Structure 1
Amino acid sequence: MAGKKEHTGKTLLMIACMILIGAAATVRTPAHAALSAWEDHSMEVMFIALLFLIAGGVIAYLMMNIRMRRRVERKLRNSELNYRTVADFTYDWEYWVGSDGTLRYTSPSCERVTGYRREEFLADPGLRERIVVPEDREIWDAHRREKPEGYDLRFIEFRIRRKDGEVRWIEHTCVPVRDDAGGFMGYRASNRDITDRKAAQDHLDMYREHLERLVRERTAELEAEIDSRRQKEEELDLYRRDLERLVRERTAELEDEITRRKSAQDALAVSEANLRRAQDVAVIGGWNLDLKSGELTWTDGVYRIFGLPPGTRLDYESFLASVHPDDLEYVNKSWSDALKGAPYDIEHRIVVNGAVKWVREKAEVEFDDNGVPLKGSGIVQDITRRKQAQEQQYILRQQLAQVSRVATAGELTAALAHEINQPLAAILANAQAALHILDGKAPDLAELHEILDDIINDNKRAREVISRVRSLLRKEPSKPEEVDINSVIHDAIRLMKQGSDFTGVSVRTELADGLEPVMADRIQVGQVVINLFANAFEAVSELSEPPRNIVVTTRMDVEGEVIVSVEDTGKGIDEGSLRRIFEPFYTTKETGLGLGLSISRSIIEAHGGRLSAFRNPDRGSTFSFSLPAKNKADVV
């Protein structure tokens, strides 16, 4: 705008000069004027006056234009001076680009931001573009291509490469500069180094992603745990309904056991209700430990779990003070291992106001590039009610196993009574014979000795039968010990043969020599063998013609487990029953409870093994279970 006004002024000045020159050329001398006619003289005077009037107007306009231009230039110089005075002392890099694209001013802080002195920028107009990294050049070029009429203020971010080679992030703020008439005079720009802010933002984004991942993982774990508990609740509800029906149908011999079992069910139902309420208000909290300062911070949820007022100052030692003394070494070692890179996911007890609680802790440790731990963060969950529910389930399984043993003994009672009567009758007959010999004049002592030996042997035989039944009925806590599985099988077969008629049934054993012992409760494992053997015997007894065979085998597999199999040649199990055979209260017998195989599987799984069933290729079925050998159990 200023250039256009300057051109117009020059044109007007030239016109005024030409008018003055023309006027001077037409003016005559006084001597010549005296000789001219009056009319010619008057016309010339009027023309000359008009020319001087026009020239005076032009000169007045030019003078006014020059004064206005000087005032604008003086105001611009004052504005630029003020801008430089402020910009010279700013922390950010400021510069001014003229309307023709030349760099008119740059602040000294350009050297702090870019490493280049302002003399270098003023001497090299292309330096501002070359320091922009190639990856961000398009951002810079697009900004430069924008017309000043298109915006009043613009913000962009890009990276530059300093003189020393370091790459820094720049926040560029640009505003067009205009005069009072709105004419474009260039750009003023402010450049701020935001590298540290970018790094902090990246760190915050990474930490947010880390926390979101922890929340997702914990949410998945809680959902899986809720599904598992819901399934157990459904199974327990099934137990309750069917057992209530069975209590009404059971004989007087089992009424006491069923009454105790019903009480246990009621207690378990109360525990389940408490557990559901605990799920609704699951107590979970988070914590962070600064390993450099030792400062430990808890959320309010963790304070509630540990029974401490929120805001209590904490460190790792004060946390250990709440850990149960019996778990202190385990917790401390687990955390020490986590500081070396091991996973930290443990369950332990704490003491809160004299009461014992169970908690689960899961955490991750952050390391620097040299593997030095910096800080730890994790979550704490109160699992006390879950532990109590697990204990109630264990008690219920023990009671169910006792009920099954009593039922098995009841089924064998009549036959066992007959088996005991045989040695008792022999003892009576031998005693009467001995009395008869003693009544004689010359008793045969050798014969009396043989009779007494027979009495002793018959007594041992009766006592052995009674001992086996007592072992089956004994209600004691599970006592794992080294057990020879072949010996358990021999005892079980001997007991079954004493209590059942095996006429027409072939029982064969193929027991591996040198089997390693298993760590198990001998009575409970014997109960499983008796149950499988009794089922096999019933299966082959239903056949009207041979073969009626039962084969019991033992072996050691490559994984260090002892395998026991009971195979029969009965009619077998159909596919539908095979899928449900281990469900509680499912039975294919008219008088069966449907508990034997379900309890047997619970016993085997509690010992770390597996129980399975399948149809034989030709006929019959095979039931097989595995137990870890002692050496493998010790490792686990």
Structure 2
Amino acid sequence: MVDVNPDDDICRVAGRTSVRGVVIDAADARDVRRQKMARIILDAMYEFLGLLDLDGTLLEINRAALDGAGLCLEDVIGKPFWQARWWAVSEEVRERVRQMIAEAGTGRFVRCDFEVFGDLQGNRTIVIDFSLKPILDDDGKVAFLLPEGRNITEKIASSAELSRKNSELQVALERLKELDGYKTRFFANVSHELRTPLTLILGPVDQLIKEGARFDERERFRLATIQRNARSLLQQVNNLLDLARIDAERMPMAYVHANVAALVRETAAGFDAAAEDHGITLTLRGEDELYADVDRAKFVRVLSNLLSNAFKFTPAGGRIVCAVERVRRGRVLISVQDSGPGVPDALKRHIFERFTQGSEGLGASGSGLGLSIVREFVELHRGTVVVVDAPGGGAIFQVEFPARAPEGSFVRSGSAADAPLSQELLGPLAPAALPPLAEAARQPGKPRVLVAEDNADLRLFLYDVLSDEYNVLLREDGASAFQAAIADPPDLIIADLMMPRWDGERFVRALAARQDFPKVPVLVLSARADDALRENLLEHLVQDFLTKPFSAQELRARARNLVTVKRTVDILQKELNSQASDILELTAGLVASRKSLQQSLTALQVMDRRWLGLYENTAVGIALADREGRILSANPALRRMLGYGAEELSGVSLMEITDPSQQAMTRRNVDGLFDGEFPSYTLQKRYEKKGGGHLWANVCVSRIPALEEDGPMLAVIVEDITQRMEAERSLTATRNELARVARYTAMGELVATIAHEINQPLAAVITNSEAALRWLAHDSPNLVEVAAALKRLNRDASLASSVIARIRGFLRAGDIHRERVDVAHLLDELLQMLQALLAEAGVRATVELAEPRPWLMADPVQLQQVILNLIVNAVDAMRDQPEGKRSLRIAVTRGPAGGLQFSVHDSGPGIAEESEERLFEAFFSTKPEGLGMGLAISRSIVENHGGRLWLDRSRGPGACFSFTIPDN
């Protein structure tokens, strides 16, 4: 550990400390200690740092530089700097470093970016910001050079990525400008093309209105409606054209020196009719004369748009104040204040953007271009426009601009400012007064039509189209139309989708929710070509849907169809109500039918009680189960058999109470019933009792077809045969014991026979051996007699050995002679050999072979002996089975651990559990006849082949013996 004293700048070291191979000892001199600490600092630095002499020989280098290139200090110290591994990227790099050393030796600071070997122990290059700094001595001469390098690989990569992104952004920006130019030209062209037909509409209409004396009042109303809406469309076209010009920077300023106070008064006068119709107070404030340099047309458009916006949101009975005044530093302030809902704070920043609309709760309509035009024109006047909250509610729009045009601008004289304003620059024309026809009283006999439409012109147009045939009631929003419909239900409702307060969809949903409201057809009008909305409304709420624009003829036809259907339904309902007597007769007939049904029901109940008595009191177990084998109900007899309480069996699966060895078979049988493979089945099976133990039963299972809401079910009939099975097992055990005694008797006889067969040659062997010994004991041995005796001795011993070999051959499998066996061919030969036996026993045998064709390395004779023994045993076991139910299945499959697995499965009575343990013992048999050696010999053969033979209880009823033979 190193301690630094701040007073004398001396490092006090406690003990010894090693840092990066540098050992600092407490006994080190101060200069030595400082040198070691300098080394530690140098090696701890992240960047490349070293020291050169004037010739470029490396005097010192830090560890970061060495580690990056995979170098040791001894590899580079005292050698030319440019020959080190760092600069081995190319000879050009080495030469450039050498030049920089020479240049730095003159006293200049040099710097350059290099790609060097500096990462992964010198196996990967990096880019460094490399510099050489001259170090001067006390005389001002260059004494050393300080090389320094900083890794800027990531910085360069980031710069390259940033440059690429900037290039992509620039391309996208240029493309966006190009598309914006296309859009601007499109708007300009469309606006220009629309102005021509609008001029041809407005010109003749204005001329006809001037000649109004020759038209009746209704025709003058229609002409006024055309004029007003054509001018409204012209104003929207002008807005689009102005925005296109602004975007194209082709909107010049035509300044005039005008009395802006007079322009305000003249523009506001165009709104007097609208103010009177809506009961709105329009007030002007400010000076009588206030001159400024303005573009007259643009100034009037600004003021007209602000006043139109104020009228749009000011409720009936409200007020609007328009003021003009001169403010500081030669500027003019125009303000328009209304008493409407005001502008929400979140909307104030966006209210002057294109296509932005506010106060949606009031159902405001429009294109959202008016205030955007205001901002653009005000900015052309070098002014500003803002919106603030008005005292007491509402909004104040304030426009401020300089009173003088920019220096050098051309300003026309005041005479040009006195020209009258064109009509399209003023406020919109007020809707025409309702013709006297609209105020006529309801005419009896005519159907009633309720119209809900917020646009005054369209509302009056609908009235004009429909009033000849119907009594028309007009409402301007969904809420008031709802109240009118509830108060006096009409014959037809026509509603616009876009309305203030309540829109059309909310209106018709409110009517549909009223249980007491009669079925009145609804025709919806919409300017939205929305197929999804149209289909949804037609499916659930309305009877017809009409998209704007539409013709008067189409509207009349659709209205006539809906009203005709409505009135026809009303007439039919009235006719039905008038036939109460017929309904009474029908009721009497229904009562009689009900009595007959009651009698049938009584008979059915009697049958149910009888069935229930049988179900509850029979000694046979009965259960109903579903498709999954779950028990739905079980009668008392079955519950007693299995030891369950009243409700304990409900929901229990048939597989749960079935012996595990028979569960798979039960599942297959249940599936077969429901799949229609067979209508029923009968078998003997073993159930597990609740408290332990087993129940043997004869079981009959049938499928019950689906009845109404209940699906198909199983009917399970169970007969307890446990006592009978125990008696049969006792009888079988007695028979087996008798057979065992018989076998032991036979074995005694066999042993006696074997003893006789062996004793005879053994006695001869003894006699001949004694004779040979006597001949040899004579003083002069008779070799001829000895040889004859030895030949007889050899003959009798061979005879005894043959007897023993035959016995061993019967008891042992013998040696194995393996060869490649075609299993299919072997089984085919075996079944041909047993064909007579199978036919005599009435057994149907089937063979199932694994794919591809199975081959095996085994002793074919011994393998055939094992299968033959198993087949003969199976045939013997099925002799007591009914004819037609004796089947034998021989299957060959791939073994789980390789090799082949053979299974011989019969349909006989199976193997009793008490016999299973001794099944493979020698001299044990389940048959009255036989010595009981077959399975013992078969197991010995299989085990000599490296396999296993066992009784397989997982294959269902009958007995199944399986054995495996490995590949080697």
> Shared topology, TM-score over 0.5?
no
Rg comparison, structure with higher value: 2
The structure carrying a bigger helix percent of its residues is 1
TM-score by length of 1: 0.31
Which structure would you say has the larger RCO, counting Cα contacts within 8 Å and 6 or more residues apart? 1
